[in-house]
Structure 1
Amino acid sequence: MTTLLDDFLSGDRSRVMPAVWETIRSRDPETLDSLLAALPRLRRAAAQLDLGGAIYSNNDHFAHALSKLEHYRDGKCWCAVYPGLLTHDPRKEETQGHIRILSTSEPGWSMTYLCECTVCGQEFDIEQGDHHFTWWNWVPRGLKRRRGEV
């Protein structure tokens, strides 16, 4: 049975990219804990790979997954990973219970959102855009609490 770490280190794009996306989406401590000790190996593996990507570099997605692991290791809230990756759809995040959409602009491809993390209360201004694909730029407002703080 292969592990998520095996997939990351395989060098095979068809295995690496699902591992990247599973890590980016995960809020499971057991899944993320299993990768923390291997962060130096994962960084070396990432530096040796060309994962392609037609519109957005898959290597950037890999780097974002590693950033998520570092944020998790450092006790930052799950929402700390929203800035820096344009694929976090606020509607999907709300459906999963991760954020609350507090307000939106008029519907359209250039919508804006005001959202709040359900864990720490961090608010984000989000700009939605469209150029070959729909994207969301998350900008935090003010300071937030660390994961586990009241």
Structure 2
Amino acid sequence: MPTLLEDFLSRDTSRVLHATWEIIRSRDEAQLDALLPHIAQIRTATEGLDMGGMLRSNAGNVDHAIAKLESYRGRECWCASYPGMDQYEPAKEQDRGHIRIISASEPGWSMSYVCECTVCGGVFNVEQGDHHVMWWKWVPRGEKRRRAH
């Protein structure tokens, strides 16, 4: 089975997208640590690659995965990634144990949440919207904290 690094460097869009989403969803330190020395190489290999995408470019997801690796290298908490991408659904993040939903507005297509990171306690206001696809805008309410190691 190919490694995530091999997938990123393959220039095969399906493999690159697989590695991208593995990183976006990951909190596995060993998995991420293995990629840290190769961030520049990953960026070069994926730069200019036609990643496709119907309503939005998948290249933005690749950029976000690289930004998450850089944030992780800088020892920022996992939640530092939330404002950089509008596809982190609060309910799914809570199901994964990553955040706790403190409050939510009445259910509907346009909702708002207050969420707390289960690692550092950082609190976010989250706005949910829908324009062809559902999205979530994460706005930190206070300072970002460093994750413990």
Q: TM-score range by the shorter chain?
A: over 0.9
Structure 1 residue 49: deviation in Å?
A: 0.7
Tell me the number of residue pairs that the alignment of Structure 1 and Structure 2 aligns: 149
Pairing 1:10–2:10 present: yes
| Match runs of 1:1-150 below 5 Å | 1-148=1-148
Moved more, 87-96 or 45-54: 45-54
Task: Give the TM-score normalised by structure 2.
Answer: 0.97
Deviations 1:31-83 (A, max 9, x none): 10111111010111121311011111111000000000001000000000000
SS, match of residue 83 in structure 1: helix
The residue identity in structure 2 corresponding to 1:95 is: D
Structure 1 residue 101: deviation in Å?
A: 0.3
- Is the Cα contact below 8 Å between 1:111 and 1:127 reproduced in 2? yes
Runs of 4+ in 1 over 6 A off after TM superposition: none
SS, match of residue 115 in structure 2: strand
In 2, Cα distance between equivalents of 1:24 and 1:65: 5
Structure 1 residue 144: deviation in Å?
A: 3.0
Identity %: 59
Gap runs ≥5 in structure 1: none
